[in-house]
Amino acid sequence: MKKMLEVLFTIVFAFAVFPVSSQQQVPVPSSAQLRWHNYERIMFLHFVPNPID
């Protein structure tokens, strides 16, 4: 019973301290981020020697 009250108190405390906002702001990307996102081809090369056991 004591453990259940501790969990309940923790949940109630979390919602009291960190209220859920219904009006969340949407992040807007910068022009550099949009330019990078619109690239047609992006490639990542990574060379690592793989030892043979």
* Residue pLDDT, tens place only, 22-48: 677 888 999 999 988 888 777 777 787
pTM across the whole model: 0.34
Residue 19 banded pLDDT, cuts 50, 70, 90: low
Output the pLDDT for position 15. Answer: 77
CA angle, 39 as apex, 48 and 42 as ends, to 5°?
Answer: 10
The predicted structure's pLDDT at residue 30: 95
For the chain, state the CA radius of gyration. 24
E-strand stretches of 1-53: none
